[in-house]
Chain A
Amino acid sequence: MTDTNIELNNTIYQRMKKIITLFVLSIAFGSTLLAQGKYFTRDGNISFFSETPVEDIEAHNKKATCVLDDETGTLEFAVLIKSFEFEKALMEEHFNENYMESNEYPKATFKGKILDYAGVRDSGFPPGVELKAQGTMMIHGVEKEITTTGYVTRDGENMQLKSSFVVKPEDYNIEIPNTVRDNIAKEIAVNVDAELKPLKK
């Protein structure tokens, strides 16, 4: 092998080394940026279910807004009450006009934090680990401090949030008229399922 060939090989080797180093750094830096960012959706699913011997009532809202700050575990949810859809038009009308008074109180929100978030995040969100979220739930214009449980998983570059909890209408000053009191459960089961994607800004 000539001196020229050896020199050429060394140059190629040095260039390859630089490219690999840059590639590794960009992956590491990119994933750090992603890990420290916010995640969001405008298509979160929130449904509720009222079960009584008289009738079952179910409604879905597939337009919930949710933002999670992956650095701090700060979490926000917001839904428009009028975006809940019922099978029967009359139920939807009663829900908005008589119970939720959605013209006056158009939104329901949750603002709080996932407790011990950093530890679970740094462990890579082990499956089956139940997390607690603590914060302020606002429904029907009434704010209430709550703690609820749920699961966070990472799916590629997205995050999945799931939670189930119970809401008592009376806690939020939602009055149920005597005539339909037997039709509506005292405890309403709420399910939350949201797939969050990175918020790129």
Chain B
Amino acid sequence: MKKLFFLFLTAAILSSCGHDDTADETPAFTMSSDDAVAAFLDNQEAATKKYVDQIIQISGPIMELQKENGNVVGVKLSSDEFNIVNVSLQYPTTADEISESDGIVTIKGVCSGFLGDSESMLPGGTVELKRATFVQ
């Protein structure tokens, strides 16, 4: 009975857990936004096996900030409109808190994969990062 109670308690605690803070995690890979997209364009299968579900730290120029209610909730990194790293932030931030160095920002997040299809009407491809945080 005691065992059952602890099992139930553990399950209840686990099911109510949120996501870990990416800011506290060490990235498995570090690269530029151009290299991240190139890796998937060169060999999508190999890049998927290597990078998906991993925490990746990516540096690149800001192409666009995605805002909701005045706060930044996402960012696109790229110098090219069609091959980009599309990032969802774990916590909304303000534009003032984003620190750039020579126009380059660094972000780490969980890679959720690559969207790009040669048969699509939309050229290029997108590497997606979720639960990302800016690296100061």
Interface bits A39-65 vs B (CB < 8 Å: 1, else 0): 010110000000000000000001101
Count of A-B contacts with CB under 8 A? 79
Return A5 CB to nearest CB of chain B, in Å.
53
| B20 proximal to A (CB < 8 A) | yes
Interface bits A56-79 vs B (CB < 8 Å: 1, else 0): 000000110101010000101011
Contact of A88 with B16 at beta-carbon distance under 8 Å, contacts A76-B122, A80-B112, A199-B122 already known: yes
| B115 proximal to A (CB < 8 A) | yes
Pair B14/A62 contact, Cβ less than 8 Å: no
Number of interface residues of A (CB under 8 A): 28
Pair A90/B14 contact, Cβ less than 8 Å: yes
Contact of A43 with B66 at beta-carbon distance under 8 Å, contacts A63-B128, A89-B20 already known: yes
Quick one: which of A42, A82, A201 contacts B126, CB cutoff 8 A? A42
Q: Give the distance in Å from the alpha carbon of A82 to the alpha carbon of B66 in the complex.
A: 20
| B19 proximal to A (CB < 8 A) | yes
State the majority secondary structure of interface residues on A. Answer: strand
Chain A's closest residue to B119 (CB) is A111
Chain A's closest residue to B125 (CB) is A65
Pair B130/A67 contact, Cβ less than 8 Å: no
Chain A's closest residue to B120 (CB) is A76
Interface bits B95-136 vs A (CB < 8 Å: 1, else 0): 000000000000000001111010011110010101100000
Q: Give the distance in Å from the alpha carbon of A90 to the alpha carbon of B19 in the complex.
A: 9
Q: Give the distance in Å from the alpha carbon of A90 to the alpha carbon of B114 in the complex.
A: 23
| B70 proximal to A (CB < 8 A) | no
Which residues of A are found within 8 Å of B131, using beta-carbon distances?
85
Q: Which residues of A contact B (CB under 8 A)?
A: 38, 40, 42-43, 62-63, 65, 67, 69, 74, 76, 78-80, 82-83, 85, 87-92, 103, 106-107, 199, 201
Provide 9 A-B residue pairs closer than 8 Å at the C-beta atoms, listed in order of the A residue: A40-B121, A43-B86, A62-B66, A63-B126, A65-B120, A82-B53, A89-B19, A89-B20, A106-B113
